[in-house]
Homo-oligomer: A and B are copies of this chain.
Amino acid sequence: MVTDPALAAPDELAGSSDEAAAGGGVSSVHEAPAGLWRHRHLLDVDVLTADELELVMRTTATMSEVLARPIARVPALRGWGVTNLFYEASTRTRVSFEVAAKNLSADVVNVTASASSVTKGESLVDTIRTLEALGARMLVIRHATSGAPWLAAETFGGSVINAGDGWHAHPTQALLDLYTMRTHLEGGSVAGRKVVILGDVLHSRVARSNLWSLTAAGADVWVCGPATLLRGFEAWAAAGVAGARRFTVTSDLGAALRDADVVMALRIQRERMASGLLPSLREYAARFGLTRERLAAARPDALVMHPGPMNEGVEIAPDVAAGSHSLITDQVANGVAVRMAVLYLLAGARDAGARE
């Protein structure tokens, strides 16, 4: 339970920083048992054990307390270069990582493909070597190609965090979703709860990562949408996540929503229309849009979630998105805390010599 002192900046250990003075002490950050964390990178949630998920959740709770302070800043990552390398546009994820890293006093550099020499045809591997030579010790990467963060991890000498790769994985989203559910479900656990992921499951890295973490945490997960947007998931469900953990695949929206504890609507990408997978946004909304009437089939206190950005009136009705059970804004706020926790744990593991 003792944190590696290397993680703490001098001010913090001395207890004399003005952050401490303003915020009432940062010692609580040290209660996160960083020593249990063994991973050098966070590429997906599939490798996380139940204990590790629990550690992320506890560390996130600590970071949420930091965020509630008047000055939400701790010196844990002082002197660490954190580089956000985004090959796809994003407001919420890029800003979320930027704010999280700055709250830990890291030095943040933003690199976006559109404004960089990435457009000159430089290879991903060279870009990553360059960013490391420029001082990056943590690399947050979003890329349209599934697997790109794994390639990055093979090259990069520091820690790589996957901020979304193609249709594949979005581990910090899954972690913030889990944290958000736990803090709003009675008993603080998703075990045995019915969680419905609704919409374009096929193209969703959010759905894939959530399937790993939610089934690991014992939830009864249902994925639901038009059959064309569920392709391949029947086979995965039959085999089981990690060859064992079952989930349910259905296009029957009524069956999916019945007595659900949590309903997570996914974004419908307008470009899916062109590929013939969906007839029209209007038809999708008519058949699968999450409306108040449909939500009535779920449990009375069912939680509503969405990873954003929303197409209101398509996959989710405006009154549901803004309703009293909607956690959509909580998800965003928890995203900052989860990313602070992940950066903190990875830094601690690095200092402890993690090589995985």
Bound together, the chains give a CA A67 to CA B123 distance in angstroms of 26
Q: Is A27 an interface residue (CB 8 A)?
A: no
B9 engages A134 (CB within 8 Å): no
B73 engages A79 (CB within 8 Å): yes
A119 engages B11 (CB within 8 Å): no
Instruction: From known contacts A79-B71, A135-B336, infer whether A116 and B89 are also in contact, taking CB-CB under 8 Å.
Output: yes
Q: Is A287 an interface residue (CB 8 A)?
A: no
B333 engages A134 (CB within 8 Å): yes
A192 to chain B, nearest CB (A): 29
Q: Is A122 an interface residue (CB 8 A)?
A: yes
Instruction: From known contacts A130-B332, A131-B95, infer whether A120 and B309 are also in contact, taking CB-CB under 8 Å.
Output: yes
Q: Is A111 an interface residue (CB 8 A)?
A: yes
CB closest chain-B residue, reference A98: B109
Bound together, the chains give a CA A295 to CA B314 distance in angstroms of 58
A308 engages B18 (CB within 8 Å): no
* Chain A 239-283 per-residue mask, 1 if CB under 8 angstroms from chain B, else 0: 000000000000000000000000000000010000000000000
Q: Is A10 an interface residue (CB 8 A)?
A: yes
Q: Is A72 an interface residue (CB 8 A)?
A: yes
A126 engages B89 (CB within 8 Å): no
CB closest chain-B residue, reference A78: B71
Q: Is A115 an interface residue (CB 8 A)?
A: yes
A81 engages B99 (CB within 8 Å): yes
Instruction: From known contacts A11-B18, A308-B126, infer whether A117 and B134 are also in contact, taking CB-CB under 8 Å.
Output: no
Please tell me the number of chain A residues within 8 Å of chain B, measured between CB atoms. Answer: 61
A333 engages B21 (CB within 8 Å): no
Bound together, the chains give a CA A89 to CA B115 distance in angstroms of 6
Bound together, the chains give a CA A336 to CA B114 distance in angstroms of 23
Set of chain B residues within 8 Å of A131, measured between Cβ atoms: 91, 95
Q: Is A317 an interface residue (CB 8 A)?
A: no
Q: Is A191 an interface residue (CB 8 A)?
A: no
A301 to chain B, nearest CB (A): 22
Set of chain B residues within 8 Å of A96, measured between Cβ atoms: 134
Q: Is A291 an interface residue (CB 8 A)?
A: no
Bound together, the chains give a CA A120 to CA B311 distance in angstroms of 9
B95 engages A111 (CB within 8 Å): yes
Q: Which of A21, A117, A312 has the most CB of B within 10 A?
A: A117
B79 engages A91 (CB within 8 Å): no
- Chain A residues 39-80 with CB under 8 Å of chain B are 67, 69-73, 78-79
B135 engages A99 (CB within 8 Å): yes
CB closest chain-B residue, reference A321: B126
A-B contacts besides A22-B78, A89-B115, A134-B333, 7 pairs, CB < 8 Å: A71-B78, A89-B116, A91-B130, A95-B131, A112-B115, A130-B329, A134-B332
Cβ-closest 7 pairs across A and B? A71-B79, A122-B309, A133-B332, A91-B116, A133-B333, A91-B117, A133-B329
